[in-house]
Structure formats: structure tokens, C-alpha cells
Amino acid sequence: MEIKSNYSLKKHNTFGVDVSCNTFVTLTNQKEASDYVQNKLDKTQPYLLIGEGSNILFINDFEGTVIHMQNKGFEVLDETHKNVWIKAAAGEIWDDFVAWSVERKYAGAENLSLIPGTVGAAPIQNIGAYGIELSEIFNGLEAIEIETGELRRFYLRELQFGYRDSLFKQELKNKYIITAVILKLNKFPFFKIDYGNIKAELESMSYENLSIAIIRQAIINIRNRKLPDPKLRGNAGSFFKNPIVNQKMHNELIKRFPKLASYDLKNGSFKLAAAWLIDQAGFKGLKKGNVAVHENQALILTNLGQASGKELLSFSEEIQRKIEEMFGVELEREVNII
């Protein structure tokens, strides 16, 4: 366990916003986490869990304790001829887990390659990309209850996973330290290559037989081209969620905007491409002070160097207002504002 006071969070958020916290605690195993919350954490003051800070925008210094779970390791819990159950420590980097599983030919996580952040944060917003969501390979998780220090196990059916959503983003937000995630992967791969430009990328690559390693490489290539590297330009990936509208609203929008980019969810509702809306509203590539909307992907807000959290938030609110005014659609934030 390591405890630091008046600690800068600049390196702990991918927006690179220069804020600090009163106390920063690094925990390296489950027992330490349990002891810490029972005996040392001042629960009368605010506290916050942090992984890699790739889905957080700090708009002020954090006047409380930031808890950083840094336990490590991957362990095969069980296997059959078809499946394998792996327990991954919360402090592991998500993409290291994907690389580890692909190397062993355990399939299911490859489409989630290169998503920044930790294993422990992955269930919080049910990370998703390229036609896959974490919920499809999630089996359970272990977490320490902050109030009592007790270890609890949660299973798939309890997590209430939704689009960039889970029980831990709602009722249980900030109530548990997730210490491990259990994933169920497949020994016989089922390739998911229909989404976005995966097929086109595969066509441009040379390989003999399609494999999960090739799909992982294709996704890494696409993401590296499309998304800004937070080390070079601060960002937190998609700032907004893709809005979901009902059939009536969708019909009205199509009449007004025949090229509307949307996806039929086949349940009477449609997912709109927020990037398309933001692009149509003229924000793509737009710079304002120290903030810009990324030139290749309108869903991403970037810090041009010295932006404060408030500046980033204010620009995001301007985008929300304009989208509401132009399309009558509410853009919900994906990023956590702290």
C-alpha cells in the first residue's frame, strides 16, 4: 500500500488535466483493499476509484481520497473442451489481458483490442467496440464493499449491463472496489468481422488463415489510424453516447435529414450515430481555445495542451445545446465528470 498527499492527477487522466487530490492510495491486493477501507479510509470525505483515468474528466481538484487498485495477474480458473474461465486482476491493463488471451488462442475479446484502461473498470460502462460488448464474455467479478470491507461476488445476471452502462455505473457507483473480473472465453473462435471496416482492413493485410490474432491486428491498425493517442493529445475516447430514439422520432428525422446515420435496433428504436450529428452541426475539427473536436472522429474532444476540465466541459455543453436545437436530440455524456 502506498499513500501520497496533495498528489497531482495529471498523469492519471488521459485528458491530461492538471488537477490534484488530497490523498492518493495505491492498493496492491484484495486483503490490502479490505483493510484499507475498514481501518484507514476517511469515509466522511469524498472518495473516488480510479483506473487509468481514460473515462474521467476532472473539472476541479478532488478534495478527498483517490483509490487506485493495482493488483496484477491472470489465472485460469476452469476449462472444458469448449471454454475457459479466466480471472483477471482489476489492476491489469485491459489490452494486456486481450493480448494474453489471444496469444493462448482463447477467443472472444479480440474485437475489444486496444481499448484503454484497466480490467477493473471494464465492467463499469460495459466497454464495447467493433460489434462486441464486455457483457458477451463476462462471467462475474469480485469486489470489496467500501462500507464494510467485505468481499462480494457478482454474476452476469446481476450486473444489468446495457449500452455503456451497468449496475456499477448506477446504484453501486463508488460503493465497491472491483478487485477482479472473471471472463469466459472460447477455444473455438467465432470470427466477428462484419462490423465497420474490419473486412476492408483484413483485405488490405496479407495472411494465410484468418485467426483471432489477425483480427486483433486489424482492429489495432484501424484504431491507431482513427483515434488520437492520449499520450500525444489528451482525450477520453467518445465523449458522448450514441442517442437512442423511437420510431416516430426517427421517421421525423429521416424526413428532415435523409442521410441520417442510424442503426435499427429491431425493438422499435434506433441508435443514431452521434459523430454524424456532431459533424453535421459543423463541429468536426473545430478548435476553441485549448479544446478541439477531433478531425477524424467527431465524438472525441481533445485537449490541445493546456485545457482545464471546465473548458472541456463547457465546449461539450455547447455541442449538446447545438445538437438539441438542430435535431431535437439529447446527447448524453459517456465520460464521467468529477
Ligand X SMILES: Cc1cc2nc3c(=O)[nH]c(=O)nc-3n(C[C@H](O)[C@H](O)[C@H](O)COP(=O)(O)OP(=O)(O)OC[C@H]3O[C@@H](n4cnc5c(N)ncnc54)[C@H](O)[C@@H]3O)c2cc1C
Report if residue 198 touches ligand X, rule: CB under 6 A: no
State phi, psi for 165 to the nearest 5 degrees: -155, 150
Report if residue 84 touches ligand X, rule: CB under 6 A: no
d(CA 226, CA 15): 17
DSSP letter, residue 259 = T
Least gap, CB of 326 to ligand X (angstroms): 26
What are the grid coordinates assigned to 226, written together? 482513427
d(CA 152, CA 136): 22
d(CA 245, CA 253): 10
Which conformational region is residue 53 in: left (phi greater than 0), alpha (psi within -120 to 50 degrees), or beta? left
Report if residue 55 touches ligand X, rule: CB under 6 A: yes
d(CA 111, CA 178): 23
> Binding string to ligand X for residues 29 to 48, with x set by CB under 6 A, is what?
-------------------x
Q: Which is nearer to ligand X, 173 or 310 (CB)?
A: 173
Report if residue 142 touches ligand X, rule: CB under 6 A: no
> 334 an active-site residue?
yes
Among the listed residues 9, 19, 37, 56, the single contact to ligand X using CB under 6 A: 56
Provide the β-strand partners of residue 300: 238
Instruction: Say if CB 281 and CB 272 are below 8 A apart.
Output: no
Report if residue 9 touches ligand X, rule: CB under 6 A: no
Q: State the number of binding residues for ligand X (CB under 6 A).
A: 33
d(CA 307, CA 14): 12
Report if residue 308 touches ligand X, rule: CB under 6 A: no
Q: Which of 52, 113, 164, 262 is catalytic?
A: 164
Report if residue 309 touches ligand X, rule: CB under 6 A: no
d(CA 93, CA 51): 9
Among the listed residues 54, 101, 297, 302, the single contact to ligand X using CB under 6 A: 54
Q: Which is nearer to ligand X, 236 or 323 (CB)?
A: 236
Report if residue 292 touches ligand X, rule: CB under 6 A: no
What are the grid coordinates assigned to 267, written together? 425493438
d(CA 143, CA 172): 11
Report if residue 220 touches ligand X, rule: CB under 6 A: no
> 171 an active-site residue?
no
> Binding string to ligand X for residues 245 to 274, with x set by CB under 6 A, is what?
------------------------------
Among the listed residues 21, 102, 107, 122, the single contact to ligand X using CB under 6 A: 122
Provide the β-strand partners of residue 155: 140
d(CA 196, CA 5): 45
Report if residue 235 touches ligand X, rule: CB under 6 A: yes
> 308 an active-site residue?
no
Report if residue 307 touches ligand X, rule: CB under 6 A: no
- For 297, the 3-state DSSP assignment is coil
Q: Which is nearer to ligand X, 53 or 309 (CB)?
A: 53
Q: Taking contact as CB under 6 A, which single stretch among the options 101-109, 116-124, 275-283, 316-324 is the one that binds ligand X?
A: 116-124
- Going by C-beta distance under 8 Å and a sequence separation of 6 or more, which residues neighbour residue 28? 1, 70, 71, 91
Least gap, CB of 257 to ligand X (angstroms): 26
DSSP letter, residue 229 = P
Q: Which residues bind ligand X (CB under 6 A)?
A: 14, 48-56, 69, 90, 115-118, 120-122, 124-125, 127-129, 176-178, 227, 230, 235-237, 336
Catalytic residues: 164, 238, 334
